[in-house]
Chains A and B, each alone.
Chain A
């Protein structure tokens, strides 16, 4: 009986840890995306400040390539849309992982409780 619970406890702990790791990964992705979104917003603001005939260049590897201002603006907006969508996706992922973590935590507590009770019982019988 005690061994059975112990095995279950180990299993539950393992899955709890896996979820925890996934959650941490998702959180760092979120931070990265957040930073990218901020950077793009700053660039967009800067592009908006330029006159219509302002010269814009895009760095591709070691060279700067001249780009139309309109095109650059479109590109940045598109990227911001994409990043926002990704953010939404990661947010949902984080929420679901947090829920998973909570269920595992509860399961762990329950099993721990059972384990302790079993130990007390065993001690009484001994």
Chain B
């Protein structure tokens, strides 16, 4: 599952940042910057997905058995429509990914979208937590780099 976790992996070990040299610290900072921008991107696409599910769910609120037989304009292209009538308003067909579509009744469809919104929201929260942690580490690294630089300056001057 597309789960994001910050559980410590067995191959991870703790290192004392102050024991690293400047080059290593720079590399580490670069890595963290990359990860942070990746998180940023992921959050944006998750937000988009969340919106799509929310709109679909809202649209479902307007469809019930009373909608049967109502007029509708069917888009053939983005800018061309033909008139049509709604038949079978009790079921909708949903894109579940990898080119598969399933038919669901209105209640099940609502449940589907609510589940999806929940899932996406959870992932977003996890990424936010992780991002916060990473940016804290990044700040610490910057601090240590500055500390080391000023130490070096002092020693060369002395």
Contacts and interface: CB of A to CB of B under 8 A. Distances in A.
Interface of A: 38-43, 46-47, 50, 54-60, 64, 67, 72, 76, 79
Nearest to A36: B98
Interface centre among B2, B96, B100, B112 (most CB of A within 10 A): B100
Contact of B102 (A41, A50, A76): A50
Given A38-B1, A38-B2, A57 B93 contact: yes
A113 to B, nearest CB: 17
Contacts of A47: 96, 100, 102
Contacts of A64: 93, 101
Q: What 6 A-B pairs are tightest by C-beta distance, nearest first?
A: A55-B103, A38-B2, A57-B101, A46-B96, A59-B99, A43-B97
B95 to A, nearest CB: 8
Interface in B39-78: none
Interface size class of B (residues with CB under 8 A): 10 to 19
A40 B1 CA distance: 9
Interface in B97-137: 97-103, 112
A58 B96 contact: no
13 contacts: A39-B98, A41-B2, A42-B2, A42-B97, A46-B96, A46-B102, A54-B102, A54-B103, A56-B102, A57-B102, A57-B103, A59-B99, A72-B100
A55 B93 CA distance: 9
A79 B97 CA distance: 13
